Structure formats: structure tokens, C-alpha cells
Structure 1
Amino acid sequence: NLLKPGVGIKVAAGDVNKIKTYAEQADGINWLEFLAHIIPHNIFEAFSKGEILQILFFAILFGYGLNKMGEAGQSLLSTFDKISKVLFNIMKVVMRIAPIGAFGGMAYSVGTYGLATLLPMAKLMGAVYLTCFLFIFLVLNAICRIYKFSLWQYLKYIRQEILIVLGTSSSESVLPSMMQKMEAIGCKKSVVGLVIPTGYSFNLDGTAIYLSMAVIFLCQVFNIDLSIGQQISIMAVLMVTSKGAAGVTGSGFIVLASTLTALKIMPVEHIAILLGVDRFMSEARAITNMIGNGIATIVIAKSENEFDEEKYRLAINPANIEINEENI
């Protein structure tokens, strides 16, 4: 409301045919289907399609069953631990070459939509980045202070992951290393194994910020007046609907389309104008999501007395950070 990034911008409606795909998928999204979708029909299909909510649901049930086996399940647990280390090593290779793919994706966006389309959206991109910055250094920093650990030291500790996410536009690219680093910083493995994967579907701070600002931006572009009450309602709805973004093909666009369809404040085709700049804002929301998930892990570990302060002090020691990054 203060920056008004959408006021005065004259843009074409965008490629309506492309947006119809998102709108059609959005029409089919409802809470009953969302909840039912969490239960996998076939766990192998869930793994092949990357359905993280279904995988997480199965993992919780499998872990519960494994825990009930007691000592008899230790050999199987050890096997899975070794398999996870192999997969993490594979991810390290992918992470190192991922920026090359990100470069190609960025080049495609500019080549397809052109700078003429991207430049008028600069105000929106600036507003999103500024909001995410303020959220991290005001809201998350306050949480860090309450739980008595330093945001700055935490950010320095995960600086390698931040750079990777900046290059890949995806927080999922650093999932393995974030889990390892959260363990190394003092969080118990059981807490990390539950909170980090769950956060990738439900703790999407950056996504909620982006979607809320996108709706208000579109309303400003198309001269749709929203009262403060309506804006608060939209933000409340998006805080909930954004939780399913990671498990839906098309991610934020489908959630945005479904929200606009439900609220009926504008034609859903209007979000087509965001197609050209979505990639350039994805870094902000991905980094915010990742930072928030890491902080949530530390907070929950501290709350449950599952946090090793000695490991934390050693991990954030500047002399040890470089060593930890080489070992992970």
C-alpha cells in the first residue's frame, strides 16, 4: 500500500492461453482433495513424481512402525541411514552444477518475454525483495533473540546454501545440506528429520509474502480497490493456501489462481502478466522459505530440549564453519 508498485503500470494481459492451464488446475483444488491427496495411492509413484507431502506422510508412518520394532529394526534403520548418505552425496554433485541450469532458465525468461516486459515490473520485484528482507531481519530476528541465538551467525553459517538457492531459485536444492547443517549446529536428528521436510510444504513464509503482494499488485494494475479488511482477508487465505504450493504442479501460480477464483475479485487470467517476472522473484521467496525453515528447526529443538548448545558454539565458530562446509 505504501509503495504501490502496480499503480500506473500499463501492461498487456499476457499469454492467456498459458494461464488457462493454471486456472484449469486451480478449479479442481479444494481442501478435501488437498487432504485426500496427502495419502498416497502408490508410494513408488509418490517418489517418482516428487509428491513431498505424500512422501512425508509415508515416512512418518514408516518411522512409527520402525520404532515399534525396537532392536529388531536397528539393522533396517542403519541401512536407510547409509542409503540417505549416498543420496546426499549425489545431491552434492547436482548442487554444484545447478547454477548452470539456473542461468539457462533466466536467459530463457528474458529471451521469451523481453526486457520491455520485465522493466515495468521492477517495482513489484523491488517491493517483494524489500518485504522479504524486512521479514527476515525484523520478524525472524526477533524470534532468534527470544530463543537466544544470533540471526547473523546463523546466516553466516548457511551462507553457502543461500548462494545455491540464489542461483537455483529453489530451496529444495539445499535440502540435504540443510538437514546435515542443522544437525551439526546442535539440533537432534529426529527434530531435523521431521521439521525440515515438513517445513518445505507448510512453512512457506516467502511464498505467502509473494502471493499476498501479487494479489494486491494485480488489483492496483487493474484499478480494483480493496479495503484494508479485504486485504487482511486475502492475506489470511493465502497464508493457508500457500501451504499446499510445494505439493502442486505449477506451485505458486496454481495457488494464486485458485485463490483468485475463490475470492472472485478479478478474472483469473490477469495473473498472466506475472509469468515473465515470476522467476526473478522466486529467489526471494525461496531464500526466505529456507532461512525460515532453518530457524524453525532451531526453535523447535530448543523448545523440546533437543538442542546441544556446545555443538552450536562450535558450529558458529568462524574457524569451524569452513571445515563444516567442506565435510558436508
Structure 2
Amino acid sequence: MKRFLLALQVLIALIVGAIVGFSSKTVGLDVQVLGAAFIRLIEMAIVPLIFPLIVLGVAQMRSVRRLGRIAGKTILYFEVVTTVILIVAVILANVTGVGRATSLPGQPAQLSGIAQGIDFETFLLDIIPKNIFSALANGNLLPIVFFSIFLGLALATLGDEAKPVTDFLESMSKAMFKVIEYIVKFTPIGVFGYIAYDIAKYGWASLGALAEFIAVAYVGFALIVFVILPITAMIFRVKYWSLLRAVWDLVFLAFITRSSEVVLAPLTERLEQYGADNSIVSFVLPTGYSFNLDGATLYEAVAVIFLSHVYGIHFSIGHQFAIIGILMVLTKGLAGVPSAAIVVLLATAKSIGLPAEGIALLMGIDFVIDMARTATNVIGNSLASIVIAKSENVFRVKTPSPLAASNDI
């Protein structure tokens, strides 16, 4: 219900912002401060949120290692599938040229380094922080991620001795979840401010770009559901369409509510009814909610390329692979974060120099994207559970009864 109310508020803010922008150019330009303040709030929370999450994600891998072969297969499967999706998303965004028909001036001083391309030697050296506290203070995301991985590995080897540190980081991450929850409540205000500003400054161009982005994103989600996942299922000899029929109602529920958490419990039961062993589903499905966000992965990649086109920034192939690498890290472990897609997108944009104003544009239509994004995540994790179960020879074909299916929702 809260998600629906927020989406309704954002929709109203989008409409009112457009009306204000068309009606009064002066007022539209003046209310940009509301959008800018909202972006500042998110930027304020990015580093203290991402730092503990990455450290804990790596540190807790020691418990995953005890699961041995199953954990290894699961993580490898997630990484391969999400990487393929990232590459497909980048290709899709480049082939369609999404955003190229629209030109919104960015911030030249911020973008000049990107426009000139990448010096990979400098790029790689800059990832290693000379001073982690300086990187934290300046919000230099890649050095922070690099240090976080090393710190997580160190904590993993210390075992119980690291518990005071991990307890602190867990408390910090929970506190930051709450901070993000507070910030998300201001989303309608931020959307109103930036939509009014963009319409006042650029007219219909920004609305046309948003419609184009929605269309390309939905094409991408369709490619995942009807091409990438069926091919994956065929490789592992899983009856994909049979599986989809078994869980379609839960996928639809996730689509309507925009929440994969809502269907976690009934989906676990449904996959067990379908034939997967409980021990596999209980591990793979929750893990997939953090490490196998197929829909979110595609969205982030398409959004970054879209913004680069809108602001007239040319990314070389090398830089696009660098973006894929950033997204491979940042899209992991943020499933429980409110508006995680926007947080990851802003963090990625910040690390490669894209203007934050463009992300505010996408916020206005995020609820439309989020429906398909969430449903795609659910389908991807359902397939992953069956694939791992079959690989472990603990899958037995069953057919869930219609009564059982209707009782799940």
C-alpha cells in the first residue's frame, strides 16, 4: 500500500510539475532547487550506505563457503547471467540510440574528462586509494569499493574476532536503510522540482526522451524474459515455459505491487511444489534477491547509456566495459534498500561523471519501470532455483494443483 501511495504521489508530482513548467517558465526554473536538494539528500547517504554493505557482503562469504559446491554454483550462475544481461543492455542501448534524439546541456567542467576518453593506466591507479579517509570524504566511489572488498576479505579471515566490527557495520547499514526510507518520502517533491525545471527549460524534448527510455527498457525486459532466460533454461535442460506457467500469478503479483519481497514466501513454496528441493530453494532464492537482480541490472545499464546520449557524452567501448564492471559490484547486495535502483544509478553516475539532474528525470517514471523490473527479477530467481536444484540432482517434476496455486496469493 505504501508503495502504491508513493507511486501515486510521484505521478501527481510529475503531472503538476509538467503543468507548472509549461505554464510559467520563471516558476519552473525557480523550483529546480527542490530537485537539487533531493539529489543532495541521496548523495549524502550513498557512501555511508554502500561502504558497510560491500564490506559485510564480502565478510559474510565465509558462511557461504561452508555450503561448498552449491554456493559456488549459485554465485557463478548469478555472475554469468547478470554479466550477459549487462552486455546485452549496453548493446541494446547503443543500437537503439536511446536518448540521442534529445540534447540536454550538462555540466561541461564535470564531463570534459569523459569526453576525452580513458587513460586506463591512470584509471586503474585511481581505483587504489592513497588515503581511504580522503576517498570517503570526497565520495570517490571506486576507491571506496576497492578498499571495502579488501576490508571484507580481512574480516572474513578473522572469524569471531571480527564480530565487533561486523556488528558495528550491520548496525550502520540498518541505520542507513532507515535514512534512505526517510529520503524516499521526499521523492514527489524532488520529481516536481526537476520535472517543472526540465519542462520550463527544454519543453517537450524531455518528455519525449522519457517515453523513448520506457519503450527501450521494456524491450530489454522482454529480451530477458523471452530470449536470455529461455536460452539459459535450454542449456540447463529446464522446461522454462512450464516453470513460467507454474509461477505466473506470483510474477503478476510482483508486477502489480512492485515488490519481490511480497512473493518470497509463496514463491518458495511454489518452487518446492514444482519439484525443487527445499534446501536448494531456501538458499538460492533469498541469495538471488541480492545477487541476481536481472531486471535491475538491465535497467541500470540502459539508464547510464541513455543519460550519456541525452547529455551528448561519448563513451568508448573501454569505458562502457568499465561501467559494466562498476554495475556488477554496485547491483549486488542492495535488494533491501528502498529505491535501490536510483541509489545505484546515482552512485554509478557520480563515479563516471554524469550529471545528477538526468537521474531526477528518470525518477518521475521509475514506478512504471519498476513494475517490469521487479517481475523480471522474480522470474530470473525462479529459474535460478530450478537450475541449481537440477544440477544437484534434487529436482523431481511435480505439478502444483490449481487449488494450491490459488491459495498462495
Normalised by the length of structure 1, the TM-score is: 0.68
Give how far 1:229 is off.
Answer: 2.2
Give the SS at the match of 2:335. Answer: helix
Cross-structure match for 1:189 = 278
**Contact 1:22–1:250 (CA under 8 A) maintained in structure 2:** no
Give how far 1:49 is off.
Answer: 9.4
1:255 aligns with 2:344: yes
Cross-structure match for 2:91 = none
Cross-structure match for 1:122 = 211
**Contact 2:238–2:386 (CA under 8 A) maintained in structure 1:** no
**Contact 2:233–2:240 (CA under 8 A) maintained in structure 1:** yes
Select the residue among 298, 304, 324 that pairs with 1:235. 324
**Contact 1:132–1:284 (CA under 8 A) maintained in structure 2:** yes
Query: What is the alpha-carbon distance in structure 2 between the residues aligned to residue 163 and residue 142 of structure 1?
Result: 22
Give the SS at the match of 2:54. Answer: helix
Cross-structure match for 1:174 = 263
Give the SS at the match of 1:28. Answer: helix
Matches within 5 A, 1:1-328: 15-30=35-50, 34-36=54-56, 39-40=166-167, 120-263=209-352, 265-309=353-397, 311=398, 314-315=399-400, 320=401, 322-328=402-408
**Cα separation, partners in 2 of 1:276 and 1:190, compared to 1, 3 Å:** same
The Cα offsets for residues 160-184 of structure 1, whole Å up to 9 and x where unpaired, read as 1121112111211111111010110
**Cα separation, partners in 2 of 1:45 and 1:170, compared to 1, 3 Å:** same
Query: What is the alpha-carbon distance in structure 1 between the residues aligned to residue 359 and residue 307 of structure 2?
Result: 7
**Contact 2:236–2:387 (CA under 8 A) maintained in structure 1:** yes
Query: What is the alpha-carbon distance in structure 2 between the residues aligned to residue 280 and residue 187 of structure 1?
Result: 32
The Cα offsets for residues 197-243 of structure 1, whole Å up to 9 and x where unpaired, read as 11111111111100011111111111111112212221232122111
Give the SS at the match of 1:187. Answer: coil
Q: Give the residue type in structure 1 aligned to 2:35.
A: D
**Contact 2:300–2:345 (CA under 8 A) maintained in structure 1:** yes
Query: What is the alpha-carbon distance in structure 2 between the residues aligned to residue 189 and residue 205 of structure 1?
Result: 23
Q: Give the residue type in structure 1 aligned to 2:251.
A: I
Query: What is the alpha-carbon distance in structure 2 between the residues aligned to residue 202 and residue 181 of structure 1?
Result: 21
**Cα separation, partners in 2 of 1:40 and 1:302, compared to 1, 3 Å:** farther
Q: Give the residue type in structure 1 aligned to 2:405.
A: E
The Cα offsets for residues 14-63 of structure 1, whole Å up to 9 and x where unpaired, read as 82211111112223355565223764559999999989xxxxxxxxxxxx
Give the SS at the match of 2:332. Answer: helix
Query: What is the alpha-carbon distance in structure 1 between the residues aligned to residue 377 and residue 167 of structure 2?
Result: 25
**Cα separation, partners in 2 of 1:273 and 1:47, compared to 1, 3 Å:** closer
Q: Give the residue type in structure 2 aligned to 1:275.
A: M
RMSD: 3.3
Give how far 1:267 is off.
Answer: 2.9
**Contact 2:349–2:355 (CA under 8 A) maintained in structure 1:** yes
Give the SS at the match of 1:246. Answer: coil
Query: What is the alpha-carbon distance in structure 2 between the residues aligned to residue 226 and residue 48 of structure 1?
Result: 36
Query: What is the alpha-carbon distance in structure 2 between the residues aligned to residue 222 and residue 292 of structure 1?
Result: 32
Query: What is the alpha-carbon distance in structure 1 between the residues aligned to residue 351 and residue 49 of structure 2?
Result: 10
Give how far 1:262 is off.
Answer: 2.1
**Contact 2:49–2:173 (CA under 8 A) maintained in structure 1:** no
Give how far 1:278 is off.
Answer: 1.0
**Contact 1:182–1:192 (CA under 8 A) maintained in structure 2:** yes
The Cα offsets for residues 103-148 of structure 1, whole Å up to 9 and x where unpaired, read as xx9xx79x95699775541110111110111122211101111222
**Cα separation, partners in 2 of 1:290 and 1:302, compared to 1, 3 Å:** same
**Cα separation, partners in 2 of 1:49 and 1:165, compared to 1, 3 Å:** farther
Identical-residue share of aligned pairs (%): 32
Give how far 1:282 is off.
Answer: 0.5
**Cα separation, partners in 2 of 1:33 and 1:239, compared to 1, 3 Å:** closer
State how many pairs are aligned: 253
**Cα separation, partners in 2 of 1:119 and 1:157, compared to 1, 3 Å:** farther
**Contact 2:259–2:374 (CA under 8 A) maintained in structure 1:** yes
**Cα separation, partners in 2 of 1:44 and 1:271, compared to 1, 3 Å:** closer
